[in-house]
Structure 1
Amino acid sequence: MIANSAYLQLLRVFEFAYDGSRIPLPLGSQRLLALLALNPRGVHRGAAAEQLWPDCTPSRAAANLRSALCRGRRIRSVTVIDSSGHRLRLSPAVDVDLHALRAAAQQHSSRQRPLPADCDPLVGELDQELLPGWPDEWLSLERQHWDQARLHALESIAQQLQETGAYLLALQAAMTAIDIDPIRESAHRIVIEIHSAEGNTACALKHYQSYRELLRQELETLPSPHMTRLVEELSSA
């Protein structure tokens, strides 16, 4: 939360704050602000009403949108929603936690930003889900985008930490990625590489066997040839 500004939190829980104070909003306004925050270019009024209230008639959805706008357009002394014709946008005066962390995730994925001295807070932030518990269908694709961004960042962080010999922190970052997507092979492969770098061949083989069993049970498939060759090299070393 940032003092002396409007701040919208979408990760872990929804929260709107101004000047350091949390401000409660009705659910309709919360959902509208979230939709606009996830669509920086703006959303047509009709599309916003249809996405937010898909089970309502067009007239009822439009009425719900007007109510959400009335309560969320301006909060305290700040304009939160800008409108131009039939298009709605979140005001640039509102800082959004997802935007800042997504930019950081992209920079860490491409190694454009150096790792902080203490990576625990960063890994903890990347472990946060996008509006967990919200059932809205329009959030599904946005959650997938966020998950991919944070998975790539966590894997890059784990690899960089491994390269510096910070094996425990590297494992924590890789295991956080696995918690997000247990099926994703690249994160499991990094864990095996970290164990191998530490000289813990047995741990590496055990992790591979657990992952192979998971794939067999969930998807009736096997790890990739790339991963299998990696483990075979460990076994023959």
Structure 2
Amino acid sequence: MPIAVEFLGRTRVLSEGREVALSRQNISFLAYLVLFREIDHPREVIIEQFWPSCEPTRGRSCLGTALLRLKRALQVNGSNWFEMSPRGEPRISSSAPIWFDIVEFEAAIMPALAAPEGMLHATLLRNLAVGLTHYRGDLLIGWYDDWVLAERERLRLVCLRGYRRLMEHYVSVGDMDKALAAGQSALRIEPLQELVQQHVIELYYNTGQRVAAIRQYDKLAAMLKAELGIAPSKNTTVLIDRIRSERPVS
């Protein structure tokens, strides 16, 4: 695609490999249109979201100006990425010739999440792995609108589910090293995911890395105490007690 838009991690718009300057509001407005591309939003709703202090006539003018600036900034020869719904609401065309990382991220991961447990088909596995590479960081870092915070958390959870599904696949085929790598990737995004921590502890132990398993538990316990003021769950405690009670192989 001649135009690529990245909202995950560093936010940027690239046209033919060169970065295009957009205002913060235009970036968030574009992200809003992309993330909610399946919904036809009445103009009044969009105006209330992005120009809440404007009276109606001024709000419609601001919306028109924002759309015009986006169309000029994201020019695609011979095709149109922007269209109006039958009701006259602005939306991203379903055939938009623009690469959006959030669209590619979800499209690649969701089929694997919907697949039966255990080993993944090669195509699903490949798409899942590629999709996870698109998650270079949280959505729209530095933006704090309510809708951004909600979507940021949703996409983070999709990513975590993706890594857990990758762990599950590699465990099912007996590749514990890759399962561990997937688990550690998930914990870099959210280290307080205790269920993932349990799986990582077990994987360390089952691959003969008893000391690493205990160290992983100790790190978890310290984080939970510092961040939330709580101790690990009963299931995690039972797991580490079993590991500690078994004599290491000499």
Can you give the 5+ residue segments of structure 1 that lack an aligned partner in the other structure?
none
Q: How far does residue 203 in structure 1 lie from its aligned partner after superposition?
A: 1.2
The Cα shift of 1:104 comes to 2.1
- Identical-residue share of aligned pairs (%): 24
Aligned equivalents of 1:117, 1:67: Cα separation in 2:
38
Q: Which runs of 5+ in 2 are unaligned?
A: none
Q: SS at 1:43's partner residue?
A: coil
Distance change (3 Å), C-alpha of 1:81 and 1:23: farther
Residue of structure 2 equivalent to 1:138: 147
Paired amino acid for 1:194: L
1:206 aligned to which of 212, 215, 229: 215
Q: Give the secondary structure class of the aligned counterpart of 1:82.
A: strand
Contact 2:4 2:14 in 1 (8 A): yes
- Whether the aligned pair in 1 keeps the contact of 2:4 and 2:100 (CA below 8 Å) is yes
Match of 1:38 in 2: 35
Question: 1:31: Cα distance to partner?
Answer: 2.6
Aligned residue type for 2:84: S
The one of 178, 186, 192 aligned to 1:169? 178
> 1:109, CA displacement in angstroms?
3.0
Which of 82, 87, 90 in structure 1 is aligned with 2:89?
87
Distance in 2, Cα, partners of 1:10 & 1:171: 28
Structure 1 residue 197 displacement after superposition: 1.8
Mapped contact 1:130–1:143 kept (Cα < 8 A) = yes
Higher mean C-alpha deviation, range 226-235 or range 56-65: 56-65
Deviation string 1:190-226 (CA, Å, 9 cap, x unpaired) is 2102101211112111211221121122212222222
- Rounded Cα–Cα distance in structure 1 between residues aligned with 2:217 and 2:202: 11
Q: Residue type of the partner of 2:133? A: G
TM-score between the two structures when normalised by the length of structure 2: 0.79
Question: Are 2:94 and 1:97 equivalent residues in the alignment?
Answer: no
State the partner residue of 1:106: 110
TM alignment of 1:1-237, pairs within 5 A:
2-3=1-2, 7-17=4-14, 20=16, 22=18, 24=20, 26-27=22-23, 28-40=25-37, 41-54=39-52, 56-59=53-56, 60-73=58-71, 75-77=75-77, 78-84=79-85, 85-94=87-96, 95-111=99-115, 113-114=121-122, 115-116=125-126, 119=129, 123-237=132-246
Whether the 8 Å contact between 1:171 and 1:194 is mirrored in structure 2 is: yes
CA 26–118 in structure 1, closer or farther in 2 if over 3 Å, else same:
closer
Rounded to whole Å, the distance in 2 between the matches of 1:39 and 1:166 is 38
CA gap 1:186/1:39 in 2 versus in 1, 3 angstroms: same
8 Å Cα contact 1:155/1:177 also seen in 2: yes
Q: CA separation in 1, counterparts of 2:128 and 2:65?
A: 45
Aligned residues: 231
Report the alpha carbon displacement of residue 17 of structure 1 after superposing the two structures with TM: 5.0
Shift of 1:139: 0.6
The DSSP-based 3-state class of the residue aligned with 2:183 is: helix
Q: Residue 126 of structure 1 aligns to which amino acid in structure 2? A: Y
Q: Is the 8 A contact 2:183 2:199 kept in 1?
A: yes
